Amino acid sequence: MAGTAIRLENLQKWFGQVKALSGIELEVPTGSVMGILGSERSGKTTIIHILATLLMPDDGRTIISGYDTRTDAHAVRRQIGLVGSGNAIEQHLSSRTVLNLLGRLHGLDRYSARRQADELLARFDLVDVADSPLATRSKLAQRRLDLAACVTGEPSVLLIDEPTSGIDCKDRPELWDLIQDLSGRGMTVLMASSNMNEVINLADSVAILHEGRIIIEESPQRLKMRVGQILEITASNHHQTATIVQHLGDMIDDRSRISSVSNVISITHSTPDLIIGTLDRLDTLGLGLSMVTVREPNPEETIRLLTAPLALVDELDIRDHCGIPHPGGSEETS
C-alpha cells in the first residue's frame, strides 16, 4: 500500500501454551513515528523481533517497505535499522572502530567507511569518546552509538525497543532529539516503550498493547486528554489523609478517581484546572504536606484508566481506609 512503511495483518505468535500476540493489526505511514506503549510482557518486544526477522510469526503477515518478513527476509533486513533494549556491541571496541566496521559490512570501501564514521561521530556527539572502549563510556554515549550504528546502512525504517532504557531522566530528551532528527530526515520509526512520557513526546500515533492485543490507537494529544495526569499528595499521617480526602471529595468530577495507599493520595484524570484547584484547596487547609507531585500514568495505569469504569470516589479504597463514615450510616441500602 502506497504511503505505508510497516503493515501488520492479523499477527499472531505463541510461545508454548502462551499466546504472546493475538491478531495484531497496525499500519505505520511512511516517514512517521509510531509508538507501541505497553507494560512488561505485553508483547511489544515480540513485535519488534518479528519485524526485524529475528522471530517468525505463527500466523498473519508483517510487511516492511513492501517486503514480507517471512518470504523476503533478506530484502527486509536491507530496509531496517534495529536498536534493541540492551547493548549488543562488544565492550572493548571503540565507537570509531564499530562504525568503520559496519560501514565496510554494508559494502562501503575503506575511505567511504571512514568518512561515514566521522560524519556519524559528529552527528551523534561522539567525537570526544570516539577512540575509547565502549566499557568506559556513559550509558547515554552507548545509546547514542546504538543509534549511530543502526543508520550506517541508511535504512528507511528504524525499529527501537525501549529507546531510553537505563538512561537518567535528565538525559532522555537528548536521545529523543536524535530520534526526532532521524524522523525528520524521512526515516519511519516504530518504537516500543513502557514510558508514557517518552511516547507522548516522540510519536505521531500511539498503540496501546495489553496482553498481546492492541486495545486502542490514538494520537498522543487525544491519548493524553483521555488519561490526563496523576496528582499525588503525600500526607504526613493517617489522620491527615482522611482530612484531605474529606475536603477534596467534592472537587472530583465523574471522570476522575481518588484513591489512597499508605498515606499517598492519588487523583487520576487530573486536568490543569483540577490540579490548580486542588493545590489552592490544600493551601487553605495549611496541613504542611510532605510532598505533592504531578506525573504521567505508567502503562499499567494507562490501560486501567482506558478500560476500567471510573467512580466519583472509590469508597472501598478511601472511606474504609481512612475511617470515613459511608453516606446513610453503617447500614447498607438497596
d(CA 208, CA 247): 35
What mean pLDDT, rounded, does the chain reach? 85
* pLDDT at 242 exceeding the cut of 60: yes
Which of residues 289 and 311 earns the better pLDDT score?
289
d(CA 186, CA 5): 11
* pLDDT at 14 exceeding the cut of 80: yes
Q: Which helix (H) or strand (E) holds 15?
A: strand 4-15
* pLDDT at 311 exceeding the cut of 70: no
Looking at 3.40.50.300, 3.10.110.10, 3.10.180.10, 3.20.20.140, the CATH number of the domain 4-225 comes to 3.40.50.300
209-213, 230-234, 249-253, 306-310: least confident range: 306-310
Which of residues 157 and 286 earns the better pLDDT score?
157
Burial class (CB in 10 A: 0-12, 13-18, 19+), 16: exposed
Question: Mean pLDDT across the stretch 216-245?
Answer: 86
* pLDDT at 330 exceeding the cut of 60: no
Question: Mean pLDDT across the stretch 183-196?
Answer: 93
Return the C-alpha torsion angle 184, 188, 193, 195, nearest 10.
20
Q: Which residues contact 259 (CB under 8 A, 6 or more apart)?
A: 265, 266, 268, 314, 317, 318
Burial 150-169 (b: 16+ CB within 10 A, else e): bbbbebbbbbbbbbbeebee
* pLDDT at 7 exceeding the cut of 90: yes
pLDDT band with cut points at 50, 70 and 90 for residue 73? very high
d(CA 217, CA 205): 7
Question: Mean pLDDT across the stretch 67-85?
Answer: 94
Q: How many CB atoms lie within 10 A of CB 314?
A: 16
CATH of domain 228-322: 3.30.70.790
> What pTM value is reported for the model?
0.80
Domain coordinates in residue numbering, the chain: 4-225, 228-322
Give residue 308's pLDDT. Answer: 60
Question: Mean pLDDT across the stretch 49-59?
Answer: 96
Task: State the cell numbers at 327.
Answer: 453516606
